Chain A
Amino acid sequence: MSASSTAVDIESTALLSVRDLTVEFSTEAGVVTAVDGVSFDVRAGEIVALVGESGCGKSATALALLRLISYPPGRITGGEIRFRGRDLLQADEATIREIRGNRIAMIFQEPMTSLNPVYTIGRQLSEPLRLHKGLGGQTLLNKCVELLKSFNIADPLRRLESYPHQFSGGMRQRIMIAMGISCDPDIVIADEPTTALDVTIQAQLLELLQAEVTSRGTALLLITHNLGVVARYADRVNVMYAGRIVESASADQLFDAPRHPYTIGLLRSVPRLDRPATEKLVPIAGQPPDALNLPRGCAFHPRCPFAIERCGRQAPVPTVVGDNHLRACWVDLHG
């Protein structure tokens, strides 16, 4: 284990163990630390959510896990990513390529642009199977047909010859999910997989995804900004703000007794169908932080109703507030 700057060293028997991950981007106006010392675990078969708003660094974190950060302008500048005990940041290219799509798969947000428009679905679907499992010929074809069938795509044999633009958004995303789980990975990373889709399609897809990962015992890292989705599907939740994890807890703990002002603020400001229609929304004051010009101390403090003097001076470190429940805040709150 490397020297961790987190206040608590979580013993890691986890499948994926991220410690102090730091990712920087060079821009015209300066260096942006998109991910600032992020640590979390994903256990086998667990559904972990990474929640936050745009710019909080959740997507950058996901890309970093598979070393997909392109340089320039981005660079992983610190930390370790232990997958089955081995640090991916130290591994060579061949190892990483063997892991991508095979042991750790990724599903992206925009099915329109993440599927290659000039290749048939069959070609793209079979690619990971060919590469990682060495399948070919009739076996490969059968496996693809089987995959499409299990994802409720009618007439699978013929549809393998179709191109992405001939499918609807929901179907394309289903194909992406099928590609993701085709090699039976240990972890699937889903980066806002349904944000671009309608609510009814979103529900369909997420249920499908949940069923697949549950039946195969695959872990799922779900990246989203939708707290409802988190409540419905996640086992564990990590809340991110300005590149850091501000609260990390089981889903039950988080919704039952949130302990960070940002989490509390989010839960109170989101319009909710389960609260009376007349109940007032309590917004979080202020604006999202400027990544080039983060506030001193705790990045959230200018917007925090509970901020004390210390918050403007020193960035809080994660502390334990419950059973595997961490938060980064100087102020003592109770839910």
Chain B
Amino acid sequence: MTETGPIGLVAPPISRRPPFALLRAVVRYRLARVGLGIIAALCFLAIFAPVLAPHSPYHQDLHGALAAPSRVHWLGTDNLGRDLFSRLLYGARVSLFVGIVSAAVSAALGVVTGLFAGFKGGAIDAIIMRVTDAFLCFPPLIFILAMSAALGPGLHNVILSFALFGWTGFARITRGQVLMVRELPFIEAARSVGVPPRRIMMRHILPNIMAPVLVAITITIGTAILVESGVSFLGLGAQPPTASWGKELRVGFAYLETTPLFSIAPGVMISLAIVSFNFVGDGLRDALDPRLRGLG
């Protein structure tokens, strides 16, 4: 007899499509608001970098290298005299692009796999899960090194490694969710109506498992940016003259004593991005959690 709960609440009769209700719920958390704001700002900067950048990120001026911040160069210049601020703006494009694409690719692959495994069950599920476990054991970094050796260094290695390894986490999460949702009465109801299995998977199960997947995506974006930074730091990611936050951080590291801003600024950008995505992820998790437990 808990249809309306102990306080007798009945939802008000206003139509609200779940996606926007979700956004509204997330925004209620201050940290998530902050995170969203920062991400929006970063995306804006990235998209409009060509317009916003006061200088070309590639224009070298060896005489004015490693300059301190001035009215001309807001954050100073790098070791080749290029405007740091502009390089960071263009770097945002790279980092955010790699982060988002990596997360998207691994999410897509992982969710499809997890859906399939969870829904089919039995032997297929077992096989897929063993394959997942195998991939999980493989250290991605070694793979990136190997790929760099084989295909040459570049950002594509990062995306590739996420595609090949990042899907495992999503597959696990998705499969777990599917196993849970599969047992819910409305799935049985769909079967009793005569809904074919594929439609049950896409129309009934998938929309109801997206919650933790969305949270995982935000976290993965953060991770991917971090990985890209690390890889570029090692020199295996963004190649000259492309700017990326990780690359700037790496190059700037050598000049830490004289021109600290050179590496601190990109470091701050990286941290800001990752933390913001995590805040949003936390907000999503909090907003979805109680509803997920009762699923509506």
Q: Do chains A and B touch in the complex (CB under 8 A)?
A: yes
Q: Which A residues contact B (CB, under 8 angstroms)? A: 25, 27, 29, 32, 34, 53-57, 59-60, 192, 195, 225, 242, 287-293
Taking a contact as CB atoms under 8 Å apart, the answer to whether A34 and B12 are in contact is no
Please indicate the chain B residues that have their CB under 8 angstroms from the CB of A34 in the complex: 6-8
Tell whether A290 pairs with B12 under 8 Å between CB atoms, given A32-B7, A34-B7, A60-B6.
Answer: yes
A206 to B12, CA, bound (A): 38
Taking a contact as CB atoms under 8 Å apart, the answer to whether A55 and B8 are in contact is yes
| 26 cross-chain CB contacts under 8 A | A27-B7, A27-B9, A29-B12, A32-B7, A32-B8, A34-B6, A34-B7, A34-B8, A53-B1, A54-B3, A54-B4, A54-B8, A55-B6, A55-B7, A55-B8, A56-B8, A60-B7, A192-B1, A242-B8, A287-B10, A288-B8, A289-B8, A290-B8, A290-B9, A290-B10, A292-B12
Please indicate the chain A residues that have their CB under 8 angstroms from the CB of B12 in the complex: 29, 290, 292-293
Please indicate the chain B residues that have their CB under 8 angstroms from the CB of A59 in the complex: 6
Quick check: is B2 within 8 A (CB to CB) of the other chain? yes
Taking a contact as CB atoms under 8 Å apart, the answer to whether A225 and B10 are in contact is no
Taking a contact as CB atoms under 8 Å apart, the answer to whether A291 and B1 are in contact is no
Taking a contact as CB atoms under 8 Å apart, the answer to whether B6 and A291 are in contact is no
Please indicate the chain B residues that have their CB under 8 angstroms from the CB of A291 in the complex: 7-10
Summarize B's interface: helix, strand, loop or mixed: loop
Tell whether A25 pairs with B7 under 8 Å between CB atoms, given A54-B2, A195-B1, A225-B1.
Answer: yes
Minimum Cβ distance to chain B for residue A57 (Å)? 8
A27 to B5, CA, bound (A): 12
Minimum Cβ distance to chain B for residue A162 (Å)? 29
Minimum Cβ distance to chain B for residue A35 (Å)? 11
Please indicate the chain B residues that have their CB under 8 angstroms from the CB of A54 in the complex: 1-6, 8
Summarize A's interface: helix, strand, loop or mixed: loop
Q: Which B residues contact A (CB, under 8 angstroms)? A: 1-10, 12
Please indicate the chain A residues that have their CB under 8 angstroms from the CB of B1 in the complex: 53-54, 192, 195, 225
Minimum Cβ distance to chain B for residue A53 (Å)? 8
Minimum Cβ distance to chain B for residue A295 (Å)? 13
Minimum Cβ distance to chain B for residue A85 (Å)? 31
Please indicate the chain B residues that have their CB under 8 angstroms from the CB of A29 in the complex: 9, 12
| B2 and chain A: residue at smallest CB distance | A54
- Closest CB pairs A-B (n = 8): A55-B8, A291-B8, A290-B10, A55-B4, A54-B1, A32-B7, A25-B7, A54-B4
A280 to B9, CA, bound (A): 31
Taking a contact as CB atoms under 8 Å apart, the answer to whether B9 and A32 are in contact is yes
The number of residue pairs between A and B whose CB atoms lie closer than 8 Å in the complex comes to: 51
Please indicate the chain B residues that have their CB under 8 angstroms from the CB of A242 in the complex: 8
Q: Which of B8, B9, B12 is most buried by chain A, counting CB atoms within 10 A of its CB?
A: B8
Minimum Cβ distance to chain A for residue B128 (Å)? 34
A192 to B6, CA, bound (A): 13
A32 to B8, CA, bound (A): 9
A77 to B146, CA, bound (A): 69
Taking a contact as CB atoms under 8 Å apart, the answer to whether A288 and B6 are in contact is no
Minimum Cβ distance to chain B for residue A262 (Å)? 15
Please indicate the chain A residues that have their CB under 8 angstroms from the CB of B10 in the complex: 287-291
| B13 and chain A: residue at smallest CB distance | A290
Taking a contact as CB atoms under 8 Å apart, the answer to whether B7 and A288 are in contact is no
Q: Which of A25, A56, A192, A195 is most buried by chain B, counting CB atoms within 10 A of its CB?
A: A25
Minimum Cβ distance to chain B for residue A191 (Å)? 11
Please indicate the chain B residues that have their CB under 8 angstroms from the CB of A195 in the complex: 1
Please indicate the chain B residues that have their CB under 8 angstroms from the CB of A55 in the complex: 4-9
Other than the given A29-B9, A54-B6, A242-B8, 7 more pairs (CB < 8 A) read: A27-B9, A32-B9, A53-B1, A54-B4, A55-B9, A288-B4, A291-B8
Please indicate the chain B residues that have their CB under 8 angstroms from the CB of A25 in the complex: 7
| B8 and chain A: residue at smallest CB distance | A55
A192 to B3, CA, bound (A): 16
A214 to B141, CA, bound (A): 75
A60 to B7, CA, bound (A): 8
| B25 and chain A: residue at smallest CB distance | A28
Minimum Cβ distance to chain B for residue A30 (Å)? 10
| A225 and chain B: residue at smallest CB distance | B1
| A57 and chain B: residue at smallest CB distance | B8
A291 to B6, CA, bound (A): 10
A192 to B2, CA, bound (A): 12
Please indicate the chain A residues that have their CB under 8 angstroms from the CB of B4 in the complex: 54-55, 288
Please indicate the chain B residues that have their CB under 8 angstroms from the CB of A288 in the complex: 4, 8, 10
Minimum Cβ distance to chain B for residue A193 (Å)? 13
A29 to B28, CA, bound (A): 13
Please indicate the chain A residues that have their CB under 8 angstroms from the CB of B2 in the complex: 54
A219 to B214, CA, bound (A): 54
A55 to B2, CA, bound (A): 9
| B4 and chain A: residue at smallest CB distance | A55
| B1 and chain A: residue at smallest CB distance | A54
| A55 and chain B: residue at smallest CB distance | B8
A104 to B8, CA, bound (A): 27
Minimum Cβ distance to chain A for residue B290 (Å)? 10
Minimum Cβ distance to chain B for residue A223 (Å)? 12
A288 to B5, CA, bound (A): 12
Minimum Cβ distance to chain A for residue B155 (Å)? 44
Minimum Cβ distance to chain A for residue B5 (Å)? 7
| A195 and chain B: residue at smallest CB distance | B1
| B28 and chain A: residue at smallest CB distance | A28
A55 to B1, CA, bound (A): 10
A56 to B4, CA, bound (A): 10
A59 to B4, CA, bound (A): 13
| A34 and chain B: residue at smallest CB distance | B7
Please indicate the chain B residues that have their CB under 8 angstroms from the CB of A192 in the complex: 1
Minimum Cβ distance to chain B for residue A236 (Å)? 23
